Amino acid sequence: MNLGEGVQVVSLIVLAAMLTASAMGVVLLPSIVYAAFLLGACFISVAGLYLLLNADFVAAAQVLIYVGAVNVLILFAIMLVNKRQPYQPIKLGIVRNIVTAIVCVGLFVLLSVTVTTTEWGVRPIASVPSTMVKLGQHFFTDYLLPFELASVLLLVALIGAIILARREMLPDIQPSGLGMSENLELLERPKEKASI
């Protein structure tokens, strides 16, 4: 990417601040709707970081798939599952949160120390004429089998999500001797609470 060094550093700092703030908001905000919108901001700032890393195709895919599909899916799920209930306090809940925070901060310190003390052997960045051409060559030559398996995976996920989210069919009603028009309806069981 043809940006000056100073511009890259400033945009890296701005994007990192946006990313950390919105990720903390996703985890810590009490309102789940605000958390979902902040998740979108988080995804967009990650896409900006991808652009800084010379990955324009992956940045576009990130905006399209994460912001356009996953975030909208999460918002729909929040609207479908929107039950405002006060959570019953569990015993030792505060202790659990504190212990988790300590473990996470410790893990972050450990990872940071490891990152800064390791010699990575950074090579000078070779200028690829177009990342999209390179990615297409990879996808259709040496990564062809995973590329095709990804389509099967998406099909399986599609069918599985439909089967899981649909209500079950009524097993006891057997329309025998009826016309085709009744058979084409999707039989659904009305909502009932299962025994807990």
Partner 1 sequence: MTLDAFLIIAASLFCIGIYGLITSRNAVRVLMSVELMLNAVNLNLLAFSDFLDSSNLRGQVFAVFVITVAAAEAAVGLAIVLSIYRSRDTVDMEQFNLLRW
Please give the residues from 23 up to 82 whose contact with partner 1 meets the rule CB under 8 A.
23-24, 26-27, 32, 35-36, 39, 42-43, 46, 49-50, 52-55, 57-58, 61-62, 65-66, 69-70, 73-74, 76-78, 80-81
Give me the DSSP letters along 41-68: HHHHHHHHHHHHTT-HHHHHHIIIIIII
Of 107-136, binders to partner 1 (CB under 8 A) are 107-108, 111-112, 115-116, 120-123, 125-126, 128, 131, 134-135
CA of residue 7 relative to chain centroid, distance:
29
CA of residue 182 relative to chain centroid, distance:
40
Establish if 144 lies at the interface with partner 1 (CB under 8 A): no
Q: How many residues bind partner 1 (CB under 8 A)?
A: 87
Q: How far apart are alpha carbons 176 and 180 in whole angstroms?
A: 11
Q: Return the axis-axis angle of helices 131-140 and 144-165, rounded to nearest 10°.
A: 80
Distance of closest approach, residue 64 Cβ to partner 1, in angstroms: 9
b/e per residue, 158-173, with b = 16+ CB within 10 A?
eeeeeeeeeeeeeeee
Residue that has been written with the tokens 């200028």 in this structure: 127
Distance of closest approach, residue 102 Cβ to partner 1, in angstroms: 10
Of 151-180, binders to partner 1 (CB under 8 A) are 153-154, 156-158, 160-162, 164-165, 167
Establish if 96 lies at the interface with partner 1 (CB under 8 A): yes
The residue from 2, 5, 95, 185 that contacts partner 1 (CB under 8 A) is: 5
Q: How far apart are alpha carbons 78 and 33 in whole angstroms?
A: 7
Distance of closest approach, residue 103 Cβ to partner 1, in angstroms: 8
Distance of closest approach, residue 190 Cβ to partner 1, in angstroms: 11
The residue from 14, 92, 144, 150 that contacts partner 1 (CB under 8 A) is: 150
